[in-house]
Structure 1
Amino acid sequence: MASGVKMLAWILLVGWMGGSAYWHVCKIKLLCDGPVEAGPPTAAAYTIPALNIADGNSLNLSSAMNFGFKKSMPEPNYANVKKELDSLAAYLKANATRKLTITGLYSSIEQNTGSFADLGLARAEALKEYLVQAGVPGGQLTTASKLVELIFSTEDSTHGMEFGFDSLLIPKTEEALAAAEKYENLFKPMDLYFKTAKADYIKTPENEKFITEAVRYLTANTDKKLSLTGHTDNDGTDVTNIKLSKNRANSIKALLIQRGIAESQLVTDAKGESQPKATNDTPEGRKANRRVSIIVQ
């Protein structure tokens, strides 16, 4: 009887030791044969796309960093590419016949809370304003947008813009300048031009379309405003040019009030010669700079 009990104890002890060894080797260290259950996939680390801005063999700006944007926000973070931006501004100022198209990227999962048609255009316009403040004539800069499926970092940031260069041909007369302006939407600036010593702007089918749409839109959206910004060339003093650009903006304001836009929805500003559209070194460039820019905001 005692020997039977002893044998059962040995069997239980051996069984316990075998089970413990199996659990340690197979379940904890996973060294046994057979399929191993895969865990959840690991998300790929976010990589900032490199910046590259090139104009043939004349310009090649590159950086391992890029413009940064928070999700659904239009304002770029320039901190890591300021040197490249300053070089871009210097290049455009030195090459008045080159035109840069800035294309802002945006994603379908982002929200556009601003006045521009989409978030990509708002981002492109923000960069355009930076370059204008750096002294680049606005006429050398155009903006566009592109809907893409952007990837965001764990901090909800994304990066990147697209750039393209083309030749800039400046019309030689005020009439040709006015005819070259094309209406796209109320949130993209349109320039109005004047014949010499005339207070009324040169009317075209395109700017008439803008005015007609502006009257309709502003009547339906009384919280929105139409901005009128007067500009001049660099002939004359700063004081004279500010006064002249203000008078031009006010003359357009009076005409638009006659067209039915409420005075409270018209905002005028005067920039004088501070924001040229083209170089002031040529007669056609100076004509391009004598204008009033209009945009709904």
Structure 2
Amino acid sequence: MSTYKIPWWIALFAWIGLSTYWHVCKIKELCEAPLISKEVQRPSLHIEDGNALSLHSAGTIDFAKAYFEANVKQVQPELDSLVRYLRVHPQKRLSIVGAYAALESNPTSYPDLGIARAEYIKQLFVKQGLPDSIFTTSSRLIGNAEIREDSLLSGVSFGFTEVVPQTEDALARAEVFESVFKPLDLYFPSGSSDFIRTDENAEFIKEAKRFLSENPDKKLMLTGHTDSDGDEARNVVLSEKRANQVKKDLVKAGLSVSQLMVVAKGETEPKASNDTPEGKRANRRVSIVVQ
């Protein structure tokens, strides 16, 4: 090939390359980096009450944009478990917080769509027999960015509080027997060394007696507690005295003395705040559990 033709060949290849680029990249628009479609990550459902309750689901409670009714099919088992939990813990109170975004219209008579959503969820529980009085509803404003694909990413959240009964008798009757392996608290009338009898603690004692008779290597632990009034060492003695009184009562009920253990905790493990009279009453107790 003669040297004078080389520039023409270079020009030809350059023209072919530029033509190909223009056709593919500019006309067909095939040269841009492909957009990776990212699936919207919806938060999973978490309902927790300290160590007492932990409910989790990969699904969530769905609310359509500008709509207050929810789709709960994905989380119905968890909501059913929550209903059962509230039934056996009548002292619990559940707060329901509904979310709403500023861009959403409010077709309801409620002050905002968040309240409407919280009220809708509350009514699902009330229809299952839970009292209206154990619920509170409120709302929170979220960013418009949390509305994706015309639905809310996180439409409702839950919180728990606990009502402390006002008297020792009410405290005793708020205790619910679930299992001999879950502690149950015994309470005493003011000025008395005999614990308050209820159907629930009677059932606990009956089941504990049966279990211990079938399992002679097991023990029933009786742990005495006090409030924070008075000297700490004196409270240890007082808590032991209460636990020993319960031990005597259980021996009379037919439980083996060799399977009853007494522990005195004094004021060191309060159940409620010692800053209120109600909390102090809740702390003056004897816990019983099979170990």
Q: TM-score, normalised by structure 1?
A: 0.47
Q: TM-score, normalised by structure 2?
A: 0.48
